[in-house]
Amino acid sequence: MELETTVNLNIPIEAHLLRGCCREADRCEIVAMGLDQLQIALPESFHGHLIALTGEIRSSCRLLRDLADRSQVHFSRVPIVANYLNVVLPCLSRTLKDIIGYYEEKTISREMRWRKMYNKMTEEASGLPLPQRFVLYNHFLSLLKQLLTRSPSFELNTLETLRTRILKLREQRGIAPPPMQIGTLVRQELMPLAIMQDANAHWAEQIFSLPLPSRTALKHLRHSKSYGPFYPWGHFTIPPESKILFRRPFDEDRISIVVYLNSVDQSPYLLMRTMQGDIPWFSLFGAHELCINREGSALQLKRWSRSEQCSKLWAALYFLTWEGKLLMTASNTPSLCTKTYKHEAYASMQRYGKGS
């Protein structure tokens, strides 16, 4: 599928780092699938550590893409996290490449590949088991997400402690220290500016994070599709202090939708991200600019084309459950700004949902 894209060659260093997040997320997917295949060939006694490792790597994948997506809304704060990304990405990348090297070593049995991988990589990290190395990466990435989004849960001391541990791991692996400081390190005296607690959280932040009251499986599932127009990272000017309400991935995060509340007009907007190779592309429309149709298991979102003077498909999003589709429908209407829908959506699910 060809995407309608616009290219900007003036790419800042922060954009390269966020592309790095997407590239390493893709590598995480490849490594996780390779480890799945390795697990199939090994006795069950090896599965525990393999499952733990694969689960953490898939968590790394989700966190990396989440960071890249949210950076569009919190564009002005990207320089604050850039220096920390420059610390973790090379180390994470080396770890993934090393794992690939071990499980692709065809001269020894699959059992020996796993034993050699686990023992050697634990030894090189001063005894830190391989799954726990990704726990370290994921804790660090989670804190970067909190820093980017001004979460009240953010802890600067923990971030600096983990940063020191990752720098030590880089040294043990022979990875040179970061050559330069790209962004602004957060200092304790600047914390009130960096982290601002929001006492009046929007209701949508809560309702979209709650477990569904029921799960009714939908049939005729297909791959979601995105049509654009798409632009590179940093193209859109999103007002400061805009609030992300929720983020929804599709097709194992190959497409994502971030819904945020614009701080200027207090209206919901949908930011869609797709991938072309390892490069993320973004498209943005307000909920008031989109029309929505239900087509089987999909929601079809259409935009108005000024050049062609007709409506064009912006995205076709396929859902696993009826309840998930119902909630997402609300993000395409201005009613997302009010509390009315909060009660209507869940009332509908309780009324019509199966298995509740």
pLDDT tens string 117-174 = 999 999 999 999 999 999 999 999 999 999 998 888 899 999 999 999 999 999 999 9
Range 281-285 contact pairs with CB under 8 angstroms and sequence separation of 24 or more: 281/3, 281/5, 281/228, 281/230, 281/231, 281/232, 282/72, 282/230, 282/231, 282/232, 282/233, 282/235, 282/236, 283/226, 283/228, 283/229, 283/230, 283/231, 283/314, 284/236, 284/238, 285/314
HSE-CB at 22 with a 13 A cutoff on CA atoms is 23
Tell me the mean pLDDT in the region 303-312: 88
Report which of 19, 176, 151 is spatially closest to residue 87, judged by C-alpha positions: 176
The CA distances from residue 162 to 58, 138, 184, 227, in Å, are 20, 10, 17, 40
Least confident range from 4-18, 23-37, 172-186, 212-226: namely 4-18
What per-residue confidence (pLDDT) applies to 294? 80
d(CA 159, CA 156): 5
| The dihedral sign for the CA sequence 48, 54, 60, 61 | negative
Q: What is the pLDDT of residues 52-110, one digit of tens each?
A: 999 999 999 999 999 999 988 888 888 889 889 999 999 999 999 999 999 999 999 99
- pLDDT, residue 120, reads 96
CA distances from 261 to 124, 181, 241, 248 (A): 46, 32, 9, 15
> What is the pLDDT, as a whole number, of residue 159?
94
Q: Which two tokens stand for residue 318?
A: 């396929």
Average pLDDT over residues 209-217: 51
Kindly tell me if the per-residue pLDDT of 234 is higher than 70. yes
